[in-house]
Amino acid sequence: MTRELTKPEILRDLMTNAAERWGKEEAERMKPSLDSIAEAICSVGSFRLMHEEEPANMATIFHQTRQRAEEKPEER
Amino acid sequence: MLNAFKLTLCEASRLIRLGKLSPNELLESLLQRINTLEPRLEAWITIDEKSTRDLANELSKKAEKGNFQGPLHGIPIGIKDIYYTAGMRTTAGSKILANFVPSYDATAVLKLREAGAIILGKTETTEFAFVDPAPTRNPWNTAHTPGGSSSGSAAAVSSGMCPAALGTQTTGSTIRPATYCGIVGLKPTYGRISRYGILPVSWSLDHAGIFTRTVEDAAVLLEVLAGYDPKNPSSSTQPAPRYREALKSCSVPRLGLLRGFFWDNASSEVKKNIEETVQTLRSAGTEVTEIHSSENFNVANAAQRLLMWSEMAAVHEETFRRRMTDYRPSLRSAVAAGLLVPASAYLKAQRIRARFTTEMAYALTGFDCFMTPATTTSAPKGLESTGDPAFNGPWSFCGFPSMTVPSGVTDNGLPLGIQLVGRPFEEELLLKAASWCEKAIRFQHEPHEPE
């Protein structure tokens, strides 16, 4: 089992990938955007969810939402 | 008629039907207004005066004979420059599409035309509706941003260049500029209005948006625009009610005031305005109950950003390979960064979305709408940034309908607004609540007239 990556680690990985793809100079220029993405990945990654939680599907989400919102909290 | 540009959509429509105003007169008043203000505000990319005059002439003749094409007969409307307009340039504010002329209309544009509207022109947008700013200035103070990405639509409606305009919202691109410009903004439920023919930012987050100066005008436009479109499979088959008719029977709304995230991130002037507005609404009989909002709004905004940047990168990937240097700096970096988001992070964000949507539906139990400040601050100074969409992103993320109604001005004379959020496809209830609030607040400020 591995631990969650920290934001600096995620940013480092993104910077490495960006440099490989677009060159070091472009990667440096992109750093604010990559920093923002690293923060979002870190925040999303550390958020705990029940393993039954499936990805949202916008075509059906409101139907599911209505059903689940009508359930009592302890049933959810 | 003198100063016809000041009329709201419903006022102008009523006068046209009574024969007291012709579509020609209304259009000329608006064109004159645009000629006066456009050099200062830069709200428009394209205006086709000849075509609009020809159409206004035709619609004036029909009106003289009592022949009205639809609820928008002779009403000029501005369209954000990411909607396809047949025969009229659609540039998305980008050099990449500088000369692109679509051969067909977006479904929303077609519906407006069928209802008798005059497509007045295309309004300024940030590049591809992301964050690189448009040149548009805020009519309330030209040193400030009008917000974005629907910058031109908000500024044009606010300054009386047109009574209504269309925009879009992926994070906060309708509600935020509407608030910064002191007008009404409506972002309906995801799928309520067809997105066919609208250049995508992010397929699963994009919404059409409406800008007007009154809630009733927004109801009229939504009634025209709502409905299933087989050309846009993610549009909803839910029947669209008669929204304007619904406003005739407004009852006292039950509002849940979200604190927590929406309080911690609001400026002092915004907090003061919300306190005063709550007092006003309570005095008018509204039930306002405070809810301490969950901490999930921060993670909702983070997940929303991952979805948006990933999908935006996918939208632009092919063009980006060939024309990377033609993109403006923020979009260029965001597309490149979006291409690096791991699939597992994207899917986790979608799972959070499912959870957040359920939580919000549950939290709405017992209320007609949530109420929050519409923006963290008033319109920021300068044109480099279009402001912070943090209070709007969660509602684009879960797809719930949201509206803003002006609620006051700062000491510096910049407008502020409340944001109301309803249940999916319950725009009827949302519009009723917004109408009630509009009547209780009685916002009567206007941008300064040009010297």
| Residue B274 resides in a domain | yes
Give the span between the Cα atoms of B45 and B123, in whole angstroms.
6
Q: Among residues B342, B359, B376, which one ends one of the domains? A: B359
The verdict on a CB contact (< 8 Å) between B333 and A32 is yes
B229 and B316 fall within a common domain: no
B172 and B187 fall within a common domain: yes
Q: Among residues B329, B359, B389, which one ends one of the domains? A: B359
* B36 contacts B148 by C-beta, under 8 angstroms: no
Q: What's the average model confidence in pLDDT over B304-331? A: 97
| Residue B449 resides in a domain | no
The verdict on a CB contact (< 8 Å) between B233 and A59 is yes
Interface probe with A: pick from B307, B340, B350, B425, most Cβ of A within 10 Å: B340
10 Å CB burial of residue B365 (0-12, 13-18, 19+) is: exposed
Q: Which of B22, B29, B94, B149 is catalytic?
A: B149
Give the span between the Cα atoms of B177 and B209, in whole angstroms.
11
Contacts of A44 in chain B (CB under 8 A): 299, 302-303, 306, 345, 348-349, 352
The verdict on a CB contact (< 8 Å) between A34 and B340 is yes
Nearest residue on chain B to A48, alpha-carbon basis:
B352
B373 and B399 fall within a common domain: yes
B173 and B61 fall within a common domain: yes
| Residue A1 resides in a domain | no
The verdict on a CB contact (< 8 Å) between B330 and A41 is no
B224 and B355 fall within a common domain: no
Nearest residue on chain A to B330, alpha-carbon basis:
A33
Go through B309-330 and write b for each residue having 16 or more CB atoms within 10 A of its CB, e for each that does not: bbbbbbbbeebbeeeeeebbeb
Count of structural domains within chain B: 2
The packing angle between helices B343-363 and A31-45, to 10°, is 60
Q: Is B62 a catalytic residue?
A: no
| Residue B448 resides in a domain | no
| Residue A44 resides in a domain | yes
B345 and B287 fall within a common domain: no
Chain centroid offset of residue B328 CA: 23
Q: Centre a 10 Å sphere on the Cβ of residue B87 and count the other Cβ atoms it contains.
A: 11
B355 and B367 fall within a common domain: no
pLDDT digits (tens, 9 = 90+) for B82-130: 999 999 999 999 999 999 999 999 999 999 999 999 999 999 999 999 9
| Residue A12 resides in a domain | yes
B400 and B344 fall within a common domain: no
Of the candidate ranges B165-174, B356-365, B371-380, the one whose mean pLDDT is the lowest: B356-365
CA distance B341 to chain A (A): 8
The verdict on a CB contact (< 8 Å) between B306 and A36 is no
B141 and B218 fall within a common domain: yes
CA distance B302 to chain A (A): 5
Interface probe with B: pick from A26, A42, A43, A52, most Cβ of B within 10 Å: A43
Residue B250, pLDDT score: 83
pLDDT digits (tens, 9 = 90+) for B48-90: 999 999 999 999 999 999 999 999 999 999 999 999 999 999 9
Q: Of B76, B166, B74, B170, whose CA–CA distance to B123 is shortest?
A: B166
| Residue A57 resides in a domain | yes
DSSP codes, B98-156: TT---SS--HHHHHHHHTT-EEEEEE--SGGGSSSPPS--BTTBTTB---SSSHHHHHH
Count of structural domains within chain A: 1
pLDDT digits (tens, 9 = 90+) for B260-278: 999 999 999 999 999 999 9
pLDDT digits (tens, 9 = 90+) for B399-432: 999 999 999 999 999 999 999 999 999 999 999 9
Q: pLDDT category, B235, cuts 50, 70, 90? A: very high
Residue B448, pLDDT score: 81
pLDDT along chain A (76 residues), means of 10: 87 97 95 97 96 87 71 53
Q: Among residues B359, B378, B399, which one ends one of the domains? A: B359
| Residue B447 resides in a domain | no
Chain centroid offset of residue B50 CA: 27
| Residue B450 resides in a domain | no
Q: Which domain holds residue B345?
A: 296-359
Q: In sequence order, which residues have a C-beta less than 8 Å from that of residue A71 and are 6 or more positions away?
A: none
Question: Shortest CB distance from B345 goes to which of A29, A33, A45?
Answer: A45
Q: Is the pLDDT of residue B183 over 50?
A: yes
| Residue B384 resides in a domain | yes
Task: Inform me whether the C-beta atom of residue A14 falls under 8 Å from chain B C-beta atoms.
Answer: yes
B323 and B413 fall within a common domain: no
Residue A76, pLDDT score: 46
The verdict on a CB contact (< 8 Å) between B306 and A73 is no
Q: Is B94 a catalytic residue?
A: no
Share of chain B above pLDDT 90, in %: 97
The verdict on a CB contact (< 8 Å) between A62 and B354 is no
Residue B450, pLDDT score: 64
Q: Which domain holds residue A70?
A: 7-75
> Is residue A71 left, alpha or beta, with left meaning phi > 0 and alpha meaning psi from -120 to 50?
beta
Q: Residue B272 sits in a domain of what CATH number?
A: 3.90.1300.10
Q: What is the DSSP letter of B317?
A: H
ipTM: 0.92
| Residue A65 resides in a domain | yes
Amino acid at site A49 = L
| Residue A55 resides in a domain | yes
B111 and B137 fall within a common domain: yes
B233 and B314 fall within a common domain: no
| Residue A2 resides in a domain | no
Q: Centre a 10 Å sphere on the Cβ of residue B18 and count the other Cβ atoms it contains.
A: 8
Q: What's the average model confidence in pLDDT over B433-448? A: 95
Q: Is B80 a catalytic residue?
A: yes
